[in-house]
Structure 1
Amino acid sequence: MWIYSWQEIVWMTAAAIALDWMIGDPKWPTHPVIVIGRWIRFVEDKLHPRDAITKDGSGEESSGLLRLKGLLLTVSTVVLSFGSVLLLVHFADGVHRWFGYAVSTWLISTTVAIKGLKDAAYLVYNPLRSGHLADARKYTGYIVGRDTEVLHEEELTRAVVETVAENIVDAVIAPLCYALLGGAPLAMFYRASNTLDSMVGYRNDRYRHFGWASARWDDAMNWIPARLTGILLVLVALLSRGLSARRAAAAIRRFAHLHPSPNSGIPESAVAGALGIELGGLNVYGGAASERARLGWPLRPRTQQDIVYAVRMLYGVSFVVMGGLLCVILVLW
């Protein structure tokens, strides 16, 4: 598997999860995802500047040309991310085998964001618990694209729970799947794909065509991990007091396909079903209202405590994955 055996990759992936549990994403050294984001913005500015004027003076380019440029951005980003990490790991391993292990483990941990996702959720939960709605709205605006200035507690809770649920795929299961398949280089390949989608994979006027390749590629990369996440969330609900595994599974079957994303509806439906709440509904983006598919059954009103439950499900999934990896390690031992 590129450099290391699959047994070594299992060890490093388990260590990466533990490292993320303990320290999350430190600001130093420079996080690889920040570097990837800077590259994406640099290439975007070159290929699709905001003040571009075409030869006919219209300032508009054909959809085909924009898609071609977007494809160039996608390919260059994922190839450079994969290649640079592969070279870095090769270099580290050449210095010393254990230095290579350490570098690979750290790189894999930067593609996972269990602690970071929990911290972002609690930045909203803590002000809500203290009754500081203004702060809760501000911090919710950091993690969602919708307008948050006038959201009340129930809608703020919905925004955070949806974000946590969706990112169990993007920030936990998908990067770990690719890490197990190909170590740090393939994990970073996935993280670059996901970062592209988060930066340019929108359906607005600017990115509808330019971000098309990035959005479709991210959908493809997440297809299997999203379905695996659904299974894991049902298992976590089965093992947890107060959660319903039966409703989680039923919600996936009933609601997941209603979501505009082929993948995000699965974890969101599972969490909604397990908690007995409804997710989705009316969102406002830049002043424009957008009705999203409603997922789950509103058996009770949403409360701020649902943020805590969602984070527990996030950690529950990571515990199940870690348990599986430790079982493999024990067998190997």
Structure 2
Amino acid sequence: MFVLLAFLSLLVELGLGYPDRLVRAIGHPVVWIGHLISFLDRHLNRATHSDIQRRISGVVALVVLVGVPATIALILSLLLSPLPFGIILVAIVGSSLLAQRSLASHVKAVADALDQGGLAAGRRAVSMIVGRDPDQLDEAAVCRAAIESLSENFSDGIVAPAFWLGVGGLVGGVAYKAANTADSMIGHRTPRHEAFGWAAARFDDLVNLPASRLTGLLLVAAAVLVPGADPANAWRTVRRDAGKHRSPNAGWPEAAMAGALGLALAGPRVYGGVLVDDHTMGNGRREATAEDIRRALKLFWTADLIMVAGFGLIAAVVALA
């Protein structure tokens, strides 16, 4: 049942996305979770506390911000599932945890902006999806940033929530989304969140382990089907470089994407004025272009459809067993 839920949620999000009218009317689950995280950050993360106290408060915050949305998801599941077409209703809710359409749209916007408005427009577009300083980026760096964001967010924003929907139903998907949102908001190594966000960052690393590996494999498989992509080099790059990334998870999709497209991604980057010296994924070209962004999108969509088909096949096998 949970695998079928993940499959249906993916189909709903592919077809409908999360309509802007709905965002204006009621907001979005990630925004609601973000409000809860901000509330806990304001009230539990006090500058007068020691690092140990902040770590303990961070653990308490993590339990609350995962537990509260998960409990709401459980209640929704119990209320909706017995209704006629109940699993469709739950899948509509579950689709809000996925970002296939919006991720592709935001990344495509970077390529379009570069083609139509040049570097300044490309910088503005890429600033919507990455945290690094856009003014520090030349055109190739803008393109690499968009492709890296596509790779990492394919894992965090699509494969991982689909995986946890398949494992734990709506409760699993919502719990994952809450943990991932917490990491994005308080999991950074800043003076304010170094201690308080420690639990959120480590928990997010843990729950993303299976999906990041699966994402890398999906991109390697997709490279077999996409003209011009190199599946053998994608696999070699994953084996050689993925474990060298500063993130225990981001290296898998970034290395697979870099190897498949013949690029060199990651490497030194500037975030908030601070240089982060990361290992390079891949040994291809650093001079990425808008056309490379579009090639990356083809690889993404192929990998995504392989995943959707995989969930559908597993659901069918389970139903027939």
Matched, 1:16 2:9: yes
Match of 1:209 among 195, 207, 211: 195
**Is the 8 Å Cα contact of residues 70 and 171 (structure 2) preserved in structure 1?**
yes
State the Cα distance separating 1:31 from its structure 2 match. Answer: 1.4
Partner residue in 2 for 1:289: 275
**Cα 1:13–1:212, aligned 2, differ >3 Å: closer, same or farther?**
same
Q: Aligned runs of 1:40-189 on 2, under 5 Å?
A: 40-48=37-45, 52=47, 54=48, 61-94=49-82, 96-98=83-85, 100-189=86-175
State the Cα distance separating 1:290 from its structure 2 match. Answer: 2.4
Secondary structure in 1 matching 2:249: coil
**Cα 1:216–1:160, aligned 2, differ >3 Å: closer, same or farther?**
same
Match of 2:239 among 247, 253, 261: 253
One-letter identity of the residue aligned with 1:124: V
Aligned residues: percent identity? 34
**Is the 8 Å Cα contact of residues 148 and 265 (structure 2) preserved in structure 1?**
yes
One-letter identity of the residue aligned with 1:87: I
- For 1:141 and 1:239, locate their aligned partners in 2 and report how far apart those are by CA, in whole Å: 31
Match of 1:39 among 33, 36, 59: 36
One-letter identity of the residue aligned with 1:39: L
- For 1:286 and 1:133, locate their aligned partners in 2 and report how far apart those are by CA, in whole Å: 20
Match of 1:221 among 207, 212, 221: 207
- For 2:238 and 2:57, locate their aligned partners in 1 and report how far apart those are by CA, in whole Å: 36
Secondary structure in 2 matching 1:132: helix
One-letter identity of the residue aligned with 1:25: Y
Unaligned runs of 5+ in 2: none
Range that drifts further, 227-236 or 309-318: 309-318
Partner residue in 2 for 1:309: 295
Matched, 1:328 2:314: yes
Unaligned runs of 5+ in 1: 1-5, 55-60
Write the deviation string for residues 189-222 of structure 1: whole angstroms up to 9, x where unpaired: 1111110111111012111111100000000001
Secondary structure in 2 matching 1:149: helix
Secondary structure in 2 matching 1:97: coil
Q: In angstroms, what is the RMSD of aligned CA positions?
A: 1.6
Secondary structure in 1 matching 2:269: strand
- For 2:244 and 2:252, locate their aligned partners in 1 and report how far apart those are by CA, in whole Å: 10
